[in-house]
Amino acid sequence: MIYFHNDYHDMCHWKVLEKMTSLHEQPMPGYGEDPCCAQAAQKIRALCGSEDVAVHFLVGGTQTNLTVISAALRPHQAAVGAETAHINVHETGAIEATGHKVIALPSDDGKITAGQVEELVRLHRASADCEHMAQPKLVYISNPTELGTIYTLAELEALSSVCRTYGLYLYADGARLGYGLTAKNNDVSLSDMARLCDAFYIGGTKCGSMFGEAVVIANDALKEDFRYLIKRHGGMLAKGWQLGVQFDALFENDLYFTICAHANRMADRIRYTLQELNVPALAQCTTNQIFPIFSDAFLEELGKDFTFTEMHRVDATHRAVRFCTSWATTEESVDALCSAMRQIAKA
């Protein structure tokens, strides 16, 4: 069986593991106040082009989202995201668990626009009984999105500008940020993210580490007492240096970007084959996820040798599925998949 069903079934890049195990005998201060975290944070600040951003390391994405969002909002305020947003559909109501509504905006490709946000806020403020509705205060985007699409710099600039005009926070979930920043049509850098977002996180779990996400906070209003908030939600790892050391390894010699670019190239090869076979897709994306729509018969055949994730049924005989590549995906695996798809298509 060859695995394409997600991007977290492999442990981590060997350089990450090597760096972590090299510290096996080294006593370390607890709770993230150690030299590994300090050094990784310094590298991240450098890549963000700012000494002023705060950097914290958390174990996982849901934990990170709920901690940042609940840190940013007053009780009556809501997060706004695409209806496909991870916080809206795949976190078991973790944001609501902190007391906040998620306002879902329609979206075909996983992205939301500055125009949608502006209209929502204007309608809210124009309403005579606005205090009877949750107040939109934070815009949540994923980059890449849950459908593998990415924001252009112009789109991000527009979103950031609307948020600043109306006093909203812009927060980006970067669970797969590495794949986004290295996609071939991407024009956004880490320093753009830090300049345009109030906060975002750089995903480790799905981009080469064992676990861990690095939160970058650019807006001073969100920095205060952030460690209390991590602890309050159970997100403060006792041996927090394990988070720092992994990001330290990922940002040594651009490893993070190199391995994510590799995954994108692997995905591109699958995309070429799908194009060649005229297979439709849920979304046009350029990152490490691919969402083709196949017939049930095709998938039954393909499923004999390859794993993928079920998305949803499209019609009586077709389903959308997901294929993921990662730092660990080999050319051989991709060749095998592409050739199998050509074979089944031909049959």
Residues between 74 and 113 that touch a second copy (CB under 8 A): 74-76, 78, 89-94, 96-102, 104
Q: How many residues bind a second copy (CB under 8 A)?
A: 76
- Options 48, 59, 207, 282; binder of a second copy; rule CB under 8 A: 59
Q: Transcribe 21-49 into DSSP letters.
A: HTTTT----STT-SHHHHHHHHHHHHHTT
User: Cα–Cα distance between 239 and 28 in angstroms, integer?
Assistant: 8
- Options 40, 120, 134, 196; binder of a second copy; rule CB under 8 A: 134
Distant-in-sequence, close-in-space partners of 248: CB < 8 Å, separation ≥ 6: 19, 36, 39, 40, 43
User: Cα–Cα distance between 347 and 339 in angstroms, integer?
Assistant: 12
CB of 221 to a second copy, least distance (A): 11
CB of 184 to a second copy, least distance (A): 26
Segment near a second copy (CB under 8 A); pick from 124-132, 194-202, 292-300, 338-346: 124-132
User: Cα–Cα distance between 132 and 91 in angstroms, integer?
Assistant: 26
224 to 283, contacts with a second copy by CB under 8 A?
225, 227-239, 242
Segment near a second copy (CB under 8 A); pick from 5-13, 184-192, 248-256, 257-265: 5-13
Q: Which is nearer to a second copy, 100 or 262 (CB)?
A: 100
Q: Transcribe 297-314 into DSSP letters.
A: HHHHHHTTTEE-EEEEEE
Check whether the bond before 75 is cis (ω within 30° of 0).
no
User: Cα–Cα distance between 124 and 135 in angstroms, integer?
Assistant: 7
- Residue 346 binding a second copy, by CB under 8 A: no
Q: Which is nearer to a second copy, 6 or 258 (CB)?
A: 6
Segment near a second copy (CB under 8 A); pick from 39-47, 153-161, 221-229, 282-290: 221-229
Tokens linked to 238: 């006792």
User: Cα–Cα distance between 25 and 138 in angstroms, integer?
Assistant: 43
Q: Which residue has the tokens 């459908």?
A: 147
Segment near a second copy (CB under 8 A); pick from 9-17, 164-172, 187-195, 253-261: 9-17
Q: Which is nearer to a second copy, 10 or 109 (CB)?
A: 10
- Options 108, 220, 310, 331; binder of a second copy; rule CB under 8 A: 310
**What does the CA dihedral 269, 275, 277, 282 come to, rounded to 10 degrees?**
110
Name the nearest CA neighbour of 139 among 187, 183, 107: 107
- Residue 63 binding a second copy, by CB under 8 A: yes
- Options 84, 182, 205, 288; binder of a second copy; rule CB under 8 A: 205
**CB-count exposure of residue 2 (10 Å: 0-12, 13-18, 19+):** middle
- Residue 138 binding a second copy, by CB under 8 A: no
Binding mask 141-170 for a second copy (x = CB under 8 A): ------------------------------
14 to 33, contacts with a second copy by CB under 8 A?
14, 17, 21, 23-31
Could you tell me if 88 and 82 are in contact, meaning their C-beta atoms sit under 8 angstroms apart? yes
Segment near a second copy (CB under 8 A); pick from 44-52, 128-136, 193-201, 274-282: 128-136
